[in-house]
Amino acid sequence: MGALLTPALGTVVWASIAFLVVLFVLRRFAWGPILAALNEREESIAGALNEAEKVRKEMQELAASNENQLKEARAERDRMMREAREMADQLVIDAKNTAREAADKEVAAAKDAIAIERKAAIAELKSEVGNLSLEIAERLLREKLESNDEQKALVNRLIDESPLN
């Protein structure tokens, strides 16, 4: 058992030298670069993941804002259409009113003109009738009074007709 429990001088010396040399060589040329590379890669992966998450969130926000914009646009469109419809209705109403007023004016003017024309026509008719009456009377008188008998008859008839009694 002694061989198992006694550290041999040579083994200790070689182990110390070899292990320390390897430790320093590996620390300088292997572990340093390897651990640095691992850290770097892990950081870049973590960074990429964070970036992806950020982009995803941004996309979400963008989608949400798109949705909002769409909603606003729809509302705007609805509003505009409603306004347009109202305006059109108003226009139609206005046009109708204007037309009616114009028509009414025309009608009134026409009525006035007609009334004036009628008056004129009636006046003319009156004078025409008067003239005609006079002419007729004239002729009648001329014809009837050409004989004495007729004159006497007429005078009699007129006397009869006159409300003297």
Q: Which of 14, 63, 85, 133 binds another protein (CB under 8 A)?
A: 14
d(CA 135, CA 153): 22
- Say whether residue 15 binds another protein (CB under 8 A): yes
- Say whether residue 6 binds another protein (CB under 8 A): yes
d(CA 121, CA 9): 158
Question: What minimum distance in Å lies between the beta carbon of 10 and another protein?
Answer: 4
User: Count of residues binding another protein (CB under 8 A)?
Assistant: 37
Going residue by residue from 34 to 73, which x/- string records binding to another protein, judged by CB under 8 A?
xx-xx-xx--x-----------------------------
Question: What minimum distance in Å lies between the beta carbon of 22 and another protein?
Answer: 4
Q: What angle do CA 78, 81, 87 make, to 5 degrees?
A: 140
Question: What minimum distance in Å lies between the beta carbon of 13 and another protein?
Answer: 6
DSSP reduced 3-state for 1: coil
What is the residue whose two structure tokens read 């798109």?
66
What is the residue whose two structure tokens read 């037309």?
99
Q: Is 154 exposed, middle or buried (0-12, 13-18, 19+ CB in 10 A)?
A: middle
Q: Which positions touch another protein (CB under 8 A)?
A: 1-16, 18-23, 25-27, 29-35, 37-38, 40-41, 44
